[in-house]
Amino acid sequence: AQKITQTQPGMFVQEKEAVTLDCTYDTSDQSYGLFWYKQPSSGEMIFLIYQGSYDEQNATEGRYSLNFQKARKSANLVISASQLGDSAMYFCAMREGYSSASKIIFGSGTRLSIRP
Amino acid sequence: GAVVSQHPSWVICKSGTSVKIECRSLDFQATTMFWYRQFPKQSLMLMATSNEGSKATYEQGVEKDKFLINHASLTLSTLTVTSAHPEDSSFYICSARPAVMGRGNEKLFFGSGTQLSVL
């Protein structure tokens, strides 16, 4: 079974609009972490935002916010005021457990394209 | 911020040769490093967890004799693709997390990746 599900293979958004990228996850662990990474065409993985399972507040990092719905097991990424430079692949990821050895697995990704 | 250095960035080799990829954490110690493989337009697939001073843990379906991992120190892990064949051509990317977990250390830091092309 898929642990991380991203149902949007691709999205087109007009510049300056907000965009929500969907992510649902499946785990029986009580302690876990959720991440969003951006991968531009260069291939590098850029960390965007992190949400711990025990964090009560939704995480925010500048224009990025994570809409964490624990009961629904969803962790959607919201990008406000999109920019042309936001065009990239976006991956949702999950770490089960809380140790330095806990592996992180990735969803299939969403390709976001920003229209000028 | 924390930096993970990965070399080489790209490599072209003949079928049957072995290729070594290095992953170094430059400003933190990492008891664990992770190796991922990514095919074009696909997600990152975890290949193995590299553990300092002990054997790597491979994911199901990954051949341990094909992809040799050595984590000789707290800052260096290597992945050797042995007897490479064209089907091994892929983007390989390593990642590491500081050994001490804590606020701000949850995320993985990634190397810049290695594009392997086997002719």
Strand pairing report for A24-25 and A60-61: unpaired
Whether the pLDDT of residue A33 is over 80: the answer is yes
Give the span between the Cα atoms of A94 and A103, in whole angstroms.
Answer: 8
Q: What's the whole-number mean pLDDT along residues B37-46?
A: 93
Residue of A nearest to B92 (CA): A43
Instruction: Between B101 and A30, name the one with better pLDDT.
Output: A30
pLDDT at A75: 97
CB B73 within 8 A of CB B79: no
Give the span between the Cα atoms of B96 and B74, in whole angstroms.
Answer: 10
Candidates B74, B107, B115, B116: best to mutate against A (most CBs of A within 10 A) is B107
Q: What's the whole-number mean pLDDT along residues B60-86?
A: 93
Q: SS3 sequence, chain A?
A: CCCEECCCCEEEEECCCCEEECCEECCCCCCEEEEEEEECCCCCCEEEEEEECCCCCCCEECCEEEEEECCCCEEEEEECCCCHHHCEEEEEEEEECCCCCCCEEECCCEEEEEEC
- A-chain residues within 8 Å CB-CB of B46? 103-106
The alpha-carbon gap from A10 to the nearest alpha carbon of chain B, in Å, equals 11
